[in-house]
Amino acid sequence: MLSFPVPYPDELIYSTVARAGVHAGLMSPKQLLDEVFANRKVIATPDLPSHLKQISGLYSHSLSLDVTNIIYKHTLFPLYAPFIPEDRRLQCIEWMAGQSKGAVHLALGAAASRVKQIRFLRYCPECLDQQLAQFGEYYWKRSWQVTGADVCPQHGPLSDSRIELHGRYRHQFFALRPDVCVGEACESRSVEDFCVAERINELLSLSPVESPSLEQWGLFYKRLAGDTDCAKGKKVLHDLVAEKVIACWTDLWLAKRSLLPSTNSNSCWLKSIFRKHRKSFSYLEHIVVLEALLGSEWDFHSVLSNVSSLESKSIVSCPVDFSEDNPSQEILDMRSSWEVFLKEFGVKKARSSGGAAIYAWLYRNDRAWLMKINGQLRRSSRSENKRVDWGKRDQNVLSKLQHIQQRATADLEGPRRSRNWYLDQLGAKATVETNLYKLPLTVKFFEKYCESVSDYQIRRIAVAIRQLDVDCEPKRRWKILRLAGLSDERIRVEAELYLKEVR
């Protein structure tokens, strides 16, 4: 695409593509996708877009708008990058450069995060006046679209537009225009909102650097608890941490963002962040903890430098020199005791039924034998569900499907009778689809009666010919295809043969 616009400061690349359509006078969303991406299946994603390599190729090298710079300066990726492992960060950049198919949102935790995404694209009314005066047009700023940052640091509360972040028009890029700026202003304008907005701007301004590992983040928070008198020895005082968080952030603000700590739950996110990190935490969870324990005198650049400087401490076992051929009497006694537990309870339950100490001793002193015997005597933890008579269920489902098939036979019109179509008619699609391997009669029904694409096209051709007979019109090929909703490119071989026979 010629004359593709250069992104403005802090502009979403989604907004840049939308402005390109306005500048070129393209009214059709599909035509814009053809011009920019040469691909009509691209999803218009404001926060974490993909296919950025095509956009980068539209700029000259002198602008320094390669894929990485676009990702870090014109998407919301910097909010997640410092808190995920390095290999995942690089993989997400690769996905965003090419085709991700939703993998980026899953890998970054955005899809299942405790911090829910905003519903509508947002804007600051006073910033719009400044944009119009400075650039002569409006654009979507990325700092407006961050959950938790509900205010503009300079002017106050943001307002919702009419454009849904993940709306029904998945392939359309909406430019920021006055007619979409009719939403209501966000209610909150608390001190917490302005604090978070400033921290968000810090994250968005970070340069591309290697991400700390999850182990380094775990070490950092353990040290942070000790440095802020929230630990006793190696034990983190979670109640004291929760008190500091609640004292720094109001209950209402935390509850609104699903971050109110629960001291009675062991799975509370605030406790988990001070334990060994097995998953990444959201930017908002990090901001809440760091602001509560460090006060206002901190910044993300210093914190990330501190975390990256920590040395990962791998757990190194101290091998004990016991001979496998000539074990000591103590080892033999421990082996015998563990075998008794294994035979009675199995591997997993044996540890919680009084054998934890024996397991730990053998793990340190006789690990090879322990792993070997556990593998030999391991029990399957999968229980068989005997509550359902699947034979009877199979017959009931078959009976319903046959009734549906008889009704559908008399109706030549309607959608294709595929397996999904039949499952939708049943009303219990998920149950049947998940357990098809237990329903052999149902599977045979699908094999016999499910309509292929060719069968569906033949049925549509038959309906079209019948309509022409009723209207007493000649059976010309182009008329049949038009009434059947087919074309020379889409028609299958079987349908083509049928059409030649009936004309």
What are the tens digits of pLDDT across the range 45-77? 999 999 999 999 999 888 889 999 999 999 999
Per-residue pLDDT at 381 = 57
**pLDDT for residue 89 is more than 70:** yes
DSSP bridge partners of 232: 235
The three-state secondary structure class of 10 is coil
Rounded to whole angstroms, the Cα distance separating 82 from 280 reads: 10
Poorest-confidence range of 212-221, 269-278, 309-318? 309-318
Contact indicator for 286, 306 with CB cutoff of 8 Å: no
**pTM metric for this prediction:** 0.64
List CB contacts of 285: < 8 A, sequence separation 6 or more. Answer: 114, 115, 259, 269, 273
Per-residue pLDDT at 318 = 45
Per-residue pLDDT at 332 = 92
**pLDDT for residue 386 is more than 80:** no
Residue with tokens 């034990």: 235
Poorest-confidence range of 31-40, 105-114, 294-303, 381-390? 381-390
**Largest Cα–Cα distance of the chain, in whole Å?**
100
Averaged confidence pLDDT in the chain: 88
**pLDDT for residue 321 is more than 70:** no
| Of residues 86 and 111, more confidently modeled | 86
Q: Are strands 156-157 and 151-152 parallel, antiparallel or unpaired?
A: antiparallel
Rounded to whole angstroms, the Cα distance separating 125 from 180 reads: 12
Q: Measure the CA angle with vertex 347, ends 342 and 352; round to 5°.
A: 95
**pLDDT for residue 323 is more than 60:** no
Residue 119: pLDDT band (50, 70, 90) is confident
End-to-end CA distance of the chain: 46
Per-residue pLDDT at 502 = 82
Per-residue pLDDT at 185 = 59
> Mean pLDDT over residues 374-389, rounded?
73
Residue 411: pLDDT band (50, 70, 90) is confident
Rounded to whole angstroms, the Cα distance separating 147 from 257 reads: 9
What does DSSP assign to residue 353? I
Q: Measure the CA angle with vertex 252, ends 246 and 253; round to 5°.
A: 75
What are the boundaries of each domain within the chain? Answer: 13-186, 212-309, 329-376, 390-451, 454-502
Per-residue pLDDT at 451 = 92
**Residue environment code for 83-117, b if the CB has 16+ CB neighbours within 10 A, otherwise e:** bbbeebbebbbebbbeebeeebbebbbbeebebeb
> Mean pLDDT over residues 177-193, rounded?
74
**pLDDT for residue 333 is more than 80:** yes
Q: Which two tokens stand for residue 122?
A: 């947002």
Residue with tokens 């015997």: 373
Residue 183: pLDDT band (50, 70, 90) is low
**pLDDT for residue 297 is more than 80:** yes
Per-residue pLDDT at 142 = 93
List CB contacts of 97: < 8 A, sequence separation 6 or more. Answer: 50, 52, 53, 56, 67, 71
Per-residue pLDDT at 16 = 94
Contact indicator for 146, 156 with CB cutoff of 8 Å: no
Per-residue pLDDT at 319 = 46
Q: What is the DSSP string of 164-232?
A: ETT-S-TT-PPP--GGG--PPBPS---HHHHHHHHHHHHHHT----PPPPHHHHHHHHHHHHHHTT-EE
**Residue environment code for 476-495, b if the CB has 16+ CB neighbours within 10 A, otherwise e:** eeebbbebbebeeeebbeeb
Judge residue 408's burial from the number of C-beta atoms within 10 Å of its C-beta, 0-12 exposed, 13-18 middle, 19 or more buried. Answer: middle
Residue 144: pLDDT band (50, 70, 90) is very high
Rounded to whole angstroms, the Cα distance separating 173 from 26 reads: 11
Count the neighbouring beta carbons within 10 Å of the beta carbon of residue 80.
25
**pLDDT for residue 397 is more than 50:** yes
List CB contacts of 378: < 8 A, sequence separation 6 or more. Answer: 346, 347
Per-residue pLDDT at 312 = 64
Percent of the chain with pLDDT over 70: 94
List CB contacts of 491: < 8 A, sequence separation 6 or more. Answer: 457, 481, 499
List CB contacts of 315: < 8 A, sequence separation 6 or more. Answer: none
Task: Give per-residue pLDDT as tens, 196-252.
Answer: 999 999 999 999 999 999 999 999 999 999 999 898 888 999 999 999 999 999 888
> Mean pLDDT over residues 327-336, rounded?
89
